[in-house]
Structure 1
């Protein structure tokens, strides 16, 4: 029997060139990507919706499942924080997305805490929590932005020079 050297098996890597070429064509033609168009239309559609809600919603509203609603938001926030911690610790590419989602959930939580708190100690507690939660949320979003830049630089080093067209 003769020993033969085995060649290592290398997993195929997706070529980012087709996606980059497509994005370049959209920019060169002056077209917006479809997601930008959908987001712009949705943002414009929300303006009259917000005005309508402001004019028609009652100032006070009694609801059921109040405790479940808050517990659900806090469970989602705890899971997002855990996912952000784990993915950041392990340097997974998903860390950027988890960090941004976590920051948005933290800002939403602070907003709802402040906007529905009652006078007195409830309001004071909400302000104190927001003074902690909002800066942490901004730091988490900043971390997500840095992770995304790190990931993009690793995949396409020429992203540091946006005027460079390969």
Structure 2
């Protein structure tokens, strides 16, 4: 059997779970509302960024500076710990925790570089970002995405030739013939 034939057989033999999730109509309504919310956020954020770029001062002394950075690093520690535990125990919660940890590391690198003083402080922030934070962030984001794709291939949900950004969300009740589109 080819991989496509195996995938088709798995989809035909696997019963569609009923009663454990919302109806197809509810899923579509939720999807439309969430997409509309994202569009509103994007449209609103553009003028807000322009406004901030024109009105914020170049220099600002912040309150709670220590609490802000320590709190951020505690959050990063919690997410990295959760990712390590999920990876060690081979739990699927690894996907969101690793992704969130990677995003937090990118934010940490950005703010470290942008708030550092010139000279040795800036060099240290750049080296830390380029050698530690950004490569680790890439591993934490790309690794689980590859693993997610592997799981989808292994369970016959997608063809091995399909790239991760083309993998649809598998919701069989939304496709009458239960076949997941190849692209």
Shorter-chain TM-score range: 0.7 to 0.9
Secondary structure, counterpart of 1:159 in structure 2: coil
Q: Structure 1 residues 157 and 58, CA, compared in 2 at 3 Å: closer, same or farther? A: same
Relative contact order, higher structure (CA 8 A, sep 6+): 2
Any idea what SS the aligned residue of 1:80 has?
helix
State whether residues 110 and 134 of structure 1, in contact with CA within 8 Å, keep that contact through their aligned partners in structure 2. Answer: yes
The Cα shift of 1:159 comes to: 3.4
1:118 to 2:120 alignment? no
Task: Report what 2:68 is aligned to.
Answer: 69
Deviating 4+ runs (over 4 angstroms): 16-21, 150-154, 161-165
Matched, 1:137 2:127: no
The Cα shift of 1:35 comes to 1.8
- TM-score with structure 1 length normalisation? 0.75
Pair 1:15-2:14 in alignment: no
Distance 1:138 1:98, change over 3 A: same
CA pair 103-36 structure 1, distance change in 2 beyond 3 A: same
Structure 2: distance between partners of 1:48 and 1:119: 31
Structure 2: gaps (5+ residues): 1-15, 169-174, 179-183
Q: Which residue of 2 aligns with 1:100?
A: 99
Q: 2: CA distance between counterparts of 1:20 and 1:145? A: 26
TM-score normalised by L of structure 2: 0.69
Per-residue deviation, 1:17: 9.3
Match of 2:78 in 1: 79
Give 1:84 shift.
0.6
Could you tell me how far apart the structure 2 residues matched to 1:55 and 1:153 are? 48
Say if 1:77 and 1:106, in contact at 8 Å, map to a contact too.
Answer: yes
**Structure 2 match to 1:146:** 146
In structure 2, what is the equivalent of residue 41 of structure 1?
A: 40
**Unmatched 5+ residue regions in structure 1?**
1-13, 27-31
Shift in alpha-carbon separation, 1:18–1:158, aligned structure 2, 3 A: farther
